[in-house]
Structure 1
Amino acid sequence: MGEVEWSSLWRKEDWWAVWLGFLLLALTASGLIGWLPKIGRWSNNIGSSISLPDIPYFILLGLGLLALLALAIYFMDKEALRTYWAGFMVIFSLAFVGMVLANQELIHRLGLEYVLWALIFGLVLGNTVGVPEWLKPAVRAELYIKIGLVLLGAEILFQTIIAAGAFGIIQALVVVVTVWLFCYYLALRAGIKKSMASVLASGVSICGVSASIATGGAVKAKPKEVSYVVSVILLVAIPMLVGLPFIARAVGMPEAVAGAWIGGTIDTTPAVVAAGALYSEKAMAVAAIVKMAQNTLIGVAAFVLSLYWVLKVERKPGERPSPLEIWYRMPKFVVGFMLASLIYSFVLIPSLGEATVRAAVAVSKGLRKWFFSMAFVSIGLDTKFKELVKVEGGKPLAVFIVAQLFNIILTLAIAYCLFGGLFFPPPV
């Protein structure tokens, strides 16, 4: 057994993601950060998305995040700190613009999330004017993603799993496991490497964007692989958002079945809610419940894949990694994700009350969105558009579409079995 690498606690990106993630969670849970400035919905006047009194708070938010991240950069790469502050301002500003655009009413209804716009802005800037040297130290997609995922752990509460109900959980488990394996092995048969196959499988089976990001970090996928899958997810969600409610209405599908079908197949939560609402209020409620149940599996998937990568994929022939070696290789942000979920579910809710914790989670969720948005700006800046278009020769897109069609058929059958009253009274 090797010596303990204590310096990794302040020199490694994974650990800084945990430290900063938990610091922000502590600040929100304690009420020291009890509010974030919000970007409102807007239709024709983009200026109406931001209230004038909130502008100083957005500036303060940016400076606060800069201070925290600069602390991490100082210990990891002191030289980079000289220009990091200037580059961060650009990253933060582009993330801000992406969030504003995503809040336009039509764009919001279409489910085109802020991460897509952040990615597009990064791609456009990186592939036109390029990325100057002074900006490069701030292009740290993995750090931003990992911090965001630790924050995401606080949103995955055991109480949410219970609220999803037995049928929602059963559907989520059956669909996620079956579709994940189908997509993964289909991707491998198509010659796609394991990391990309894992990101694709998680994106199509679990929860779209968040699951893809978590899986990408767990299996050490390249940023362009993650950005590719996220782009495909968001683009495929648009026709599904309109098409699934239309089909459900055309065949006279029961509301609960339609909701379970929509919630189990569309891969982004905003699009799920929008599609459910197009059918009925009841369908929207059931769709949200089923999607919540799927969301709770993000951490489990990331943790299992992390172990698999350490014990199988990265293991050299004849090597038997020691427990300490497994610990070193295990992505620490995944551990932070799981720990945050457990602490919030079984420590904070019993001690502070569910209402208080959910209010704190609403704030940490806002912070998480900022980190995700900055991550995708960074991914775009670091990705050549030609490379993104040519990823694996178009095979991932074909695999995703086939897997999604399989998902649609399987989920419809399960939705009828569980919510259609075929074998027992429907739960809702």
Structure 2
Amino acid sequence: MLIKTKQLSLHEDWTVVLLGFLIIGISLFVFLPEVPVFKWSNGSDLLADVFAVGNLQVLLVQFIYLTAIGSIAAFLIGKSVKNFLLVFPIVYLLTVLALIVAGNTFIKGLNLEAVIFSLVIGLTIGNFFKLPEWFRSALSTEVFVKIGLVLLGTSVIFSDILKAGSLGLIQALIVVLSVWYFAFWLCKKLKVDDELTMMISSAVSICGVSAAIATSGAIKGDSKKLSYVISMVLVTAIPMMIFMPIIAQYFNFPEEVTGAWLGGSIDTSGAVVASGTLVGETALKISTIVKFSQNVLLGLAAFAISVYWTYTHNKSAEAVASKPTLGVIWERFPKFVIGFVLASVVFSFLLTSETRDTVKDSLKNIQGIWFALAFTSIGLETNFKDLFSNNSKKPLYAFLIAQFFNVIITLIIAFLLFGK
């Protein structure tokens, strides 16, 4: 899987904030997209409701709407708009297929969400068919996830952020420091090279893909090693996303504790959202806020890592002259978090309850579509063979052991902070 660090640049994060608020503004003042019907129980319902002419028209309007937003995103972040326009219809159709499967009443009874089927469909195609590189590079997974996260802010009231965010920040500080140090120590014991050690430690302790990419940028790491770490993050996030909610349900964990556990231990924001969705609305909100609390630490972590790397691995006069500054914190800070908080502020204080009630269903639908599109894209761009392409398995062992430690320590802290 080819990973380019520029894909998670400041420019992209500001782009998703801009587009997130563009969608909010359109919904409030211009056009409120209808919510398509995906619920069905038998073949006659499928034909009469889901494939009804009116519903197909709603889906067509939604497709045009999302294509326009996605094309603007591709243009602003410097991707090929032409390639996006070729790839997006396929991603959209596969995602709609996943939504239709998830809309079945029996499937809903099993508590299986659309993102699971989006992921499975994407993985099936991505691993059994050789997709051209231009197709994979045109996928906009991070853009889709982050637009959805900005829109998620419209459903989280500010008091929830203040209440859970303070606890989330405490949890994030404890987890990030303890897990990062454990992963660093473990990699050293297993004699993993320094670049992989830094990337693995950051990915497993902070926020997965974003942390790995930020760390690679801070230490000017090898892109192949970065691809390897991200492959591990994506592949391990899949079973964690599915089985952790099942474990929580089996042991009857409180929903707040489950949300804090998921948000603190699963490495990708999209997987956190998906797993939180499987548990419930409270778990979704808590898991997202806890994950954002960790994301906030990304800038500080990148700054600390860049300082450490400069002093320990760059002894040249040129390197000494270009020591990192406080600007690194702002450069590495995930700007989509700002969009999430601003959206929450707007919907908490600047809009009437009547206005919120008018637009909430439509915005929730659009938010869900972006997440589903993201997981279809994750499946398409993830190849299981990438995980085992590295000659040495020691980085994989280090990552898995550190991840297990992360899961256990985060669960303990979640119970201490969020248990009633």
Query: What TM-score results when the alignment is normalised by the length of structure 1?
Result: 0.69
Q: Does 1:234 align with 2:241?
A: yes
In structure 2, the CA distance between the partners of 1:414 and 1:70, relative to structure 1 (3 Å rule), is closer
Q: Give me the whole-angstrom Cα distance separating, in 2, the residues matched to 1:123 and 1:64.
A: 26
Shift of 1:40: 3.6
The answer to whether the aligner puts 1:146 opposite 2:125 as a matched pair is no
Within 2, Cα distance between the matches of 1:228 and 1:57?
34
What residue identity is the alignment partner of 1:82?
K
More displaced 10-residue stretch of structure 1: 376-385 or 149-158: 149-158
Aligned-partner Cα distance in 1 for 2:250–2:297: 34
Name which of 398, 401, 404 aligns with 2:404.
Answer: 401
1:183-332 correspondence runs (5 A): 183-191=179-187, 193-201=197-205, 223-245=230-252, 258=254, 260-265=256-261, 268-273=275-280, 289=282, 292-310=285-303, 312-313=305-306, 316-317=310-311, 318=320, 319-322=322-325, 327=330, 329-330=331-332
Number of matched pairs: 366
8 Å contact from structure 2 (residues 119, 378) kept in 1:
yes
CA distance in 2, matches of 1:233, 1:70: 32
Is the 8 Å Cα contact of residues 20 and 339 (structure 2) preserved in structure 1?
no
Structure 2 matches for 1:14-413, cutoff 5 A?
14-28=13-27, 30-43=28-41, 45=43, 47=46, 50=50, 52=52, 53-74=54-75, 77=78, 80-105=80-105, 107-108=107-108, 110-132=110-132, 135-136=135-136, 138-161=138-161, 172=168, 174-191=170-187, 193-201=197-205, 223-245=230-252, 258=254, 260-265=256-261, 268-273=275-280, 289=282, 292-310=285-303, 312-313=305-306, 316-317=310-311, 318=320, 319-322=322-325, 327=330, 329-330=331-332, 334-342=334-342, 344-345=344-345, 347-357=346-356, 359-388=358-387, 392-412=395-415
Kindly tell me: are residues 226 and 59 of structure 1, through their superposed partners in 2, closer, same or farther at Cα, counting changes over 3 Å?
farther
Task: Report the secondary structure of 2:159's partner residue.
Answer: helix
Structure 2 distance, partners of 1:133, 1:396, is 27
Q: Provide structure 1 residue ranges, at least 5 long, that are not aligned to the other structure.
A: 1-9, 203-210, 249-257, 274-287, 420-428
Once superposed, what is the RMSD of the aligned Cα atoms?
A: 3.9
**1:404 partner amino acid:** V
Percent identity (aligned): 21
Q: Aligned partners of 1:389, 1:57: CA distance in 2, in Å?
A: 43
Q: How big is the shift at 1:183? A: 3.2
* Matches of 2:233 and 2:360, distance apart in 1: 26
Q: 1:353 to 1:122 in 2, by over 3 A?
A: same
Q: 1:260 to 1:56 in 2, by over 3 A?
A: closer
Does the aligned pair in 1 maintain the 2:203–2:233 contact within 8 Å? yes
C-alpha distance 23-136 of structure 1, shift in aligned 2 (>3 A): same
* Matched AA of 2:240: I
Distance in 2, Cα, partners of 1:137 & 1:302? 25
| Cα distance change of structure 1 residues 290 and 147 upon mapping to structure 2, 3 Å threshold | closer
Q: 1:195 to 1:137 in 2, by over 3 A?
A: closer
Provide the residue aligned with 1:255 in structure 2: none
Counterpart amino acid of residue 242 in structure 2: L
Give, in angstroms, the shift of residue 122 of structure 1: 2.1
With structure 2 as the length reference, what TM-score do the two structures score?
Answer: 0.70
Q: For residue 160 of structure 1, what is the amino acid of its counterpart?
A: D
Distance of 2:161 and 2:14 partners within structure 1: 28
Q: SS at the partner of 2:293?
A: helix
1:112 is displaced (CA, Å) by: 4.2
Q: 1:138 to 1:313 in 2, by over 3 A?
A: same
SS of match in other structure, 1:130: coil
